[in-house]
Amino acid sequence: MIDEPVVLLPPEPEQPPVIVEQPAVIAPPEPRYVLARALDVDEVRGLERTFSAAIPHGLAALALLSSVAAVDSPLGAALGVREVARSINAALPRALVTARMGRPAPPVVTAEALAAIRANASADADAPDAAPAGGPMLVAQLDTGEFDALRAVLGRNLADPFLRGVQVLLAVAPRGLDGVSAGAAARVRDALAAYRVAAGAWLMRVTVRRAVDRRYDPLTTDDAALHAAGRDLVAALREAVAP
């Protein structure tokens, strides 16, 4: 009996592992809370006149902060800050006239106006492009942490209406200007950032001063650093809307 030859077959090639591609997980966009306000050319001209006149620096600061406060979006209405800014704006013309006449300015920020604040009001996040369109728009887009910080500021209780008003207006100050050229937007953004820093430092100084001297009136007291930053911001805004 003849043995059959043994045939050695080559090993089967290894099969590459099957890779099952998982669908990419796309993180949801970060919620944004939008505060906005249309930049009014006439208000910018009024600010130019204010900062070129012999107006007390504290009063000029209040005029600037209330004129640029980003409060006209639905979020500003929900939190009540739109009512506060409008009340201050309505009281400013008389105060500016009396200041030019060298007379004591009447109250500009009142407890009644501040009572409109609703720090814990229901507010929904907006899409990143939720700011109103149709011209230059002062905008502050806040993430969740920044929005929580805003609520915390609005929920504070300062007994001094003027200091409280400045605190609120500073909290809703815009971060940038949409609807203008890239160069103008960059200049306004930088000027806004510098003014927020200067106004924050000024608020701390006058708060301490008021605590030790109730006769001290920050509305009628000059502050060169604050006023210079205000002039720079007004100039940047004027350049942005210049025809």
Q: Is 176 among the domain residues? A: yes
Q: Is 163 among the domain residues? A: yes
Query: For residue range 170-217, what is the model confidence (pLDDT) as tens digits?
Result: 999 999 999 999 999 999 999 999 999 999 999 999 988 888 887 888
Query: For residue range 72-106, what is the model confidence (pLDDT) as tens digits?
Result: 989 999 999 999 999 999 998 888 888 778 787 78
- Point out the least confidently predicted range of 7-16, 43-52, 169-178: 7-16
Q: Is 93 among the domain residues? A: yes
Alpha-carbon 134 to chain mean position = 19
If one counts the domains in the chain, the total is: 1
Dist. CA 180–CA 172, nearest whole Å: 21
For residue 164, what is the DSSP state?
A: H
Phi, psi of 32, rounded to the nearest 5 degrees? -125, 135
Q: Structural domain of residue 223, as residue ranges? A: 33-241
* pTM, rounded to two decimals: 0.82
- Those residues with Cβ within 8 angstroms of residue 121's Cβ, 6 or more apart along the chain or in another chain: 78, 79, 80
